[in-house]
Structure formats: structure tokens, C-alpha cells
With several copies, the nearest count.
Chain A
Amino acid sequence: MSEFSATLEKVAKALENNSKRFEELDSAAGDGDLGITAGKIAEGIRSGISLSTGDLKADLMMLGREISKSAPSTFGTLFATGFIRASGVVSNEYSPLENVQKGFKAAFEGIAARGKASIGERTLLDALAPALTALNDASDLRSSLSSAAIAARAGAKATAEMMPRHGRAGWIGERAKGLEDAGANVIAVVFEALQ
């Protein structure tokens, strides 16, 4: 298994290990299916790994397609969109750090466009945006990923004070306050697994 695949496997495992927590958060403010979605994303990731060709661009596209097939909920589709958009910008000519930076930037922009959400609206973007900033501020891959993990976690924490406007949680408004956003938590877990 390539290093890339091994890292993805770590992400899949982390998603499974935390599915209970995701379910709890999504139950409180949404419809409680984010634990299931996390499990299905893990399945999609594994199925993408098994089809891996070694070509980063093709593999990211494949991962996105497989995740979208196995996890069709809002979050699953946004997650898959990130891979598909990243696929469009990575290249073998770039350094790993460059690919990570460009890939996550494209993922962030694609997800924001697809979900039509803005920063501060209590979504996964509120964990992804600070992580992206941290990635860009760093000069080597290792430190970039570890500071991104810290930033994503802080971002997820901060969602507890935000009013939801998107997804099913958007319908409950004020009542969500005090609780962290479920999707932002998934992002934090993903970055913690990547480092």
C-alpha cells in the first residue's frame, strides 16, 4: 500500500472511530445521520483506495466518485466534491506540499460553491477555512499538517457559538447554539488523522 493509500486508510478508520460522536452532534441539531454518513465515507475511501492507479489526479477523482456513490447525504457529497475539485488542480510536477495546498484550496472553493455557505454559518467550512490558512502559512508538509489539525479543531470548537443556516440544522436556528457543528467536527477528525 502506497503512503497516500495508507494515509487515506487512517482517515477512514478515524471516521469510523468517531462516528458515535458525529451522530450525537448531528442528532442534537440535525437529523442524526452523520455517524452513518461518516461510515459510508470510510467505505467510499476504501473502495477508492482499492481502485488506485498511483496517479494522484486520477486517484483523487476516483475517490470523489466512490465517496459520492456510497455517501449521498449532504455532507458526503460535499466531502466528495472536495476530492473531485482537488483532482482538477494537483499535478505530479508539484511538490507534495504544493499539492496539499493547492488541492485543499480547490476543495474548499468547490465545497463553498456547491453548498453556497459562507464562513461563520456553522458548517464544515468553519473548520476547513482555518485549516487551509494554516496549510498555506507553513513551509514543510509535516508542520503544515500538524498546524492545520490544530486550526481545524479550533474552528470546529468555534462553531458552537454560530447560528446554523444550512442543512437540516438550518431549520432549528437558535436551538443549535452551544453545540459544535457536526460536519466541522468531521473535518477536525480528518486533519487529526492526516498529520
Chain B
Amino acid sequence: MQKILNIPKEFVSEMLEGILQAYPTQLKAVDGDNQALTRADAPIAGKVGITTGGGSGHLPLFLGYVGKGLLDGVAVGDVFQSPTADQMLAVTKQVNSGAGVLYIYGNYGGDVMNFDLAAELAAAEGIRVETILGADDVASAPKGEESRRRGIAGIFFLYKVAGAAAAAGKSLDEVVAITKRAAAQTRTMGVALSPVTLPTVGHPTFEVKAGEMEIGMGIHGEPGIRKAKLETADQITTELISAIKSDLSLKSGDKVCVLMNSLGATPPEELYIMYRQVKKIFSGDGIDVARVYVGEFATSLEMAGASISVIRVDSELLGYINAPAHTPFFTQV
């Protein structure tokens, strides 16, 4: 296991300690629990609070998006594990300024259970909580069963839209409405080229053989839709984009934003080789790429592989995506 670690089971607590030491003016822990983090200046008077949460091992997901123009707080679980309802509740109370709180997180059983429970407990304390799930992974369930889809890198666009709308002073209902619209227009599809090793396990927890790939594999190793010999960048990109295009019914004249995401070990060089093909396909289809993000947005430790997320935008959504943001992990001017 080629990892730089101390005691494997302290992986998350030591990571969080390092993060809080690195950004003391930007992040703070609620009630001394480093797994319940908020913006240092939370709550922001009059602003809708936006929180997220999920397992560790996906940096910059989830905590990396807590900051100006994006999220207010995050509950952080162990590696690939949901945080507790209690942690999400603590975050909720800390970020609530009275304007209500929106939960945005990925559609995974454990997270849904915990955050629904947190929302129930928050409601009992008089805090209005709304929830929107990231469920952008086209590969994880067929059309018609969208609500079963897992959430992966496309959640970035939901954060961005919701964060910008809340920063602009929109009400909870307005933020919910625009974020739902963003969610309905967002799709992701990925490919895995290597497994990952959990620090506490010490060996890969699933298999992707050398020379092979798995299209649609989830970021925790959830089975994909096709195992095959490793294909060329153009072939892979074409397959991912085709699935997204058809699921989203993209057509000539549409405007989109694209997010090219590395799962960890795949270097940015390869993402740009893929983007070259994305741009070629979209240009051929008369689809306009209004903005592209390339890098690590939702990872799986040192997994090799990549995902492509696409959101169809109108001028309102694009305005929110283009709005400035500033967190310890993401800055946009």
C-alpha cells in the first residue's frame, strides 16, 4: 500500500487536523468535532445555509466546497462512510441564520438515512430544511429510474448554482427551485482504470485489471455497466459523451458547461486529451461549451480513471456557474 500514513484508522482525524491547521481563518469545527465543519464566518446573516456531507476519501468533495459563494457547512464521515445524523444536525444548527437550510449531497443509502434523520431532528428544533440529492451518474440506473442513480462529480454544478443563488440573497424556496433545475440538467458518466485501497484495509477492495477498464464504475467501486479492454481516449470519451447526450437529449443550439474530473491518479494531461474529443463531438453537434472545468473535483483516493459531467444551461444557470467563489480548495474569479 503506497500511502503516506500514520495509523490507518486515524486517517480521517489526522487529515481533518491538517486541514483545519492549514485554513484556520476559513474553516471551523462545530463544538470541537472536526467532522462537523462550517465556514469560519457561519452563520451568514439572512443567507440560506447550504450544507453537504458524505464519506472521506473524495477530496475536494465534500468539505472542499465550503466557503464563499458555495457551501456553509459539511458533515464529514469516515472513508467512504456516511457521517452521523448528529454531526449533520450540529452543522445545520451552526449555519442556520433563520433563512432555512438546504442539504445537497450524493444519493447513497447511508447518507440519505442519516441526513433525513438530521433534517427530522432539525425540524423538531424549528429549522426548516430542504434536501436535493445529487443523482447524476447515468451509469448507475436506467432512464426512468433516475431516483436510484448515484451522485458523483456533477454535484459540483449543484453546489455552484445553489451557492451562488444563496450568496445573491435568494430565499430558500428560490434556491431550491433553481438547484432542482440544475440537478435536472446535470449528467455524469465515468470510467475506472484501477481500484483503490482503503487505508484501514490495506489492499484493493475490488479489481480493475491492468489493460482493462470499467465503464460506469462508481467512486467506491460499485459495479459499472461494461468491463472491457482499455480503449483509446477518443473511444472512451465518445462512449461517455454519447450516453450523456442521449440521456439529457442534448440537441443543436444547446449550451452546456463541462467538468472533466480525474478520480485521483489520472493526470490532468489525460483529461485534456479527452476534452479535445469532447469539444470535437460537441462542435460537430452544434452544442456550445460555455465553460469547462478540468481537474480533480470528486475523487476516490488514488483511483485511476475519469468522469465527464455536463450541465445544460440557460443564462440564469450560467450566471450562477460563472459567479465568483472562494474556498480553501476552489477559487473562481
Contact between chain A and chain B defined by CB under 8 Å: yes
A residues touching B (Cβ–Cβ < 8 Å)? Answer: 31, 33, 65, 68-70, 72-74, 77-78, 80-81, 84, 114-115, 166-168, 170-172
By a CB distance below 8 angstroms, the chain B residues around A172 are 223
A84 CA to B113 CA in the complex, in Å? 13
Q: Is the CB of A73 within 8 A of B223?
A: no
Cβ-defined partner of A73 (8 Å) among B110, B116, B148: B110
Q: Is the CB of A77 within 8 A of B117?
A: yes
By a CB distance below 8 angstroms, the chain A residues around B148 are 170
Cβ-defined partner of B117 (8 Å) among A31, A68, A73, A167: A68
Q: Is the CB of B109 within 8 A of A72?
A: no
By a CB distance below 8 angstroms, the chain A residues around B85 are 68-69, 72, 77, 80
Q: How does the 8 Å CB contact mask read for B80-96 relative to A, with 1 for contact and 0 for none?
A: 01111110000000000
Nearest CB of chain B from residue A30's CB, rounded to whole Å:
10
Cβ-defined partner of B113 (8 Å) among A65, A114, A168, A171: A114
Q: Is the CB of B77 within 8 A of A72?
A: yes
By a CB distance below 8 angstroms, the chain B residues around A84 are 117
Q: How does the 8 Å CB contact mask read for B210-229 relative to A, with 1 for contact and 0 for none?
A: 00000000101011000000
Nearest CB of chain B from residue A71's CB, rounded to whole Å:
8
Q: List 24 A-B contacts (CB under 8 A).
A: A65-B86, A68-B85, A68-B86, A68-B117, A69-B84, A69-B85, A72-B77, A73-B81, A73-B82, A74-B82, A74-B109, A77-B82, A77-B85, A77-B114, A77-B117, A78-B113, A80-B85, A81-B113, A81-B117, A84-B117, A115-B109, A168-B222, A171-B218, A171-B222
Q: Is the CB of A77 within 8 A of B110?
A: yes
By a CB distance below 8 angstroms, the chain B residues around A80 are 85, 117
Apart from A65-B86, A115-B113, A171-B140: 13 A-B pairs, beta carbons within 8 A? A31-B220, A33-B81, A68-B84, A69-B85, A69-B86, A72-B81, A72-B110, A72-B114, A74-B109, A77-B85, A114-B113, A171-B223, A172-B223
A172 CA to B206 CA in the complex, in Å? 13
A168 CA to B81 CA in the complex, in Å? 12
Chain A minimum-CB-distance residue to B35: A72
Which 8 A-B residue pairings sit nearest by Cβ, starting from the closest? A77-B113, A74-B109, A72-B84, A74-B110, A171-B222, A72-B82, A68-B85, A69-B86
Main secondary structure on A side of the interface with B: helix
By a CB distance below 8 angstroms, the chain A residues around B220 are 31
B residues touching A (Cβ–Cβ < 8 Å)? Answer: 77, 81-86, 109-110, 113-114, 116-117, 140, 148, 205, 218, 220, 222-223
By a CB distance below 8 angstroms, the chain B residues around A170 are 148
Which of B77, B83, B110 counts the most chain A CB atoms within 10 A? B110
A166 CA to B140 CA in the complex, in Å? 13
By a CB distance below 8 angstroms, the chain B residues around A168 are 109, 222
Chain A minimum-CB-distance residue to B218: A171
Chain B minimum-CB-distance residue to A68: B85
Nearest CB of chain B from residue A23's CB, rounded to whole Å:
13
By a CB distance below 8 angstroms, the chain B residues around A115 are 109, 113
Nearest CB of chain B from residue A84's CB, rounded to whole Å:
8
By a CB distance below 8 angstroms, the chain A residues around B223 are 171-172
A115 CA to B84 CA in the complex, in Å? 16
Chain A minimum-CB-distance residue to B148: A170
A114 CA to B82 CA in the complex, in Å? 15
A170 CA to B84 CA in the complex, in Å? 22
By a CB distance below 8 angstroms, the chain B residues around A31 are 205, 220
A81 CA to B121 CA in the complex, in Å? 11
Chain A minimum-CB-distance residue to B221: A31
By a CB distance below 8 angstroms, the chain A residues around B109 are 74, 115, 166-168
Chain A minimum-CB-distance residue to B223: A171
By a CB distance below 8 angstroms, the chain A residues around B84 are 68-70, 72
By a CB distance below 8 angstroms, the chain A residues around B110 are 72-74, 77
Which of B109, B218, B222, B223 counts the most chain A CB atoms within 10 A? B109
By a CB distance below 8 angstroms, the chain B residues around A166 are 109
Q: Is the CB of B117 within 8 A of A114?
A: yes
By a CB distance below 8 angstroms, the chain A residues around B82 are 72-74, 77
Which of A68, A114, A166 counts the most chain B CB atoms within 10 A? A68
A2 CA to B51 CA in the complex, in Å? 41
Nearest CB of chain B from residue A120's CB, rounded to whole Å:
17
Nearest CB of chain B from residue A156's CB, rounded to whole Å:
19
